[in-house]
Amino acid sequence: MKITIKELIKEYSGQRILDEMSINLENVQVLAFIGPSGSGKSTLLRLIAGLEEFQGGDIAMNDRWMSEEGLDDYRKKVGFVFQDHNLFSHLSIFENIALVLEKVHEKERSEFDKQSRVLVSQRRAMLGSTMQVCAPMRQLLSRARGKKTTVVGTPLLTGAPE
């Protein structure tokens, strides 16, 4: 993955958090931002994922500039896996995936229903009858929701001990 940030400016309530930041990263497999609390790490990740708007500059993922592509199209190609659980606990794994495919990507359930259920069933068969949604599940859900690039992620699905 290639990430290019050009003269990025982000402000909150008139206070500049990122001041004309520029960076060019190629062949990124894993990336960590390290710094003190309040230095803009989480803000930068949210900007790269297209979850927040910025006041100046531009961001490109794999040479596709957000300003040229438009925020909606850009967001369809970038995923963001939150550090904390952001799944609906009252929904099944399939229903969490289906919700985003239907509401965000405007797909008909018939397009993905059978294939998704087969994949979940195969995984359940590998792990036994008990499955739990845990921190590693977030990457699977991000990918299953139709994203092309995951900005932040952890490994996948585990079986709960019986």
Determine contact, residues 75/50, Cβ cutoff 8 Å: yes
Give the ranges where the chain is alpha helix by DSSP (H): 41-48, 66-69, 71-75, 93-103, 109-127, 137-144
In 3-state terms, the chain is what percent helix, strand and coil (to 5)? 35, 25, 45
Query: Within a 10 A sphere around the Cβ of 105, how many other Cβ atoms?
Result: 13
Domains of the chain: 3-75 (3.40.50.300), 93-146 (no CATH)
Q: Which pLDDT tens digits describe the chain residue by residue (162 residues)?
A: 899 999 999 999 999 999 999 999 999 887 888 888 888 888 898 899 888 899 999 999 899 899 999 888 888 777 766 665 567 778 777 787 777 778 777 788 887 777 777 777 777 776 655 445 454 555 555 555 554 444 443 333 333 333
Residue 36 and residue 31: Cα distance in Å, rounded?
Answer: 17
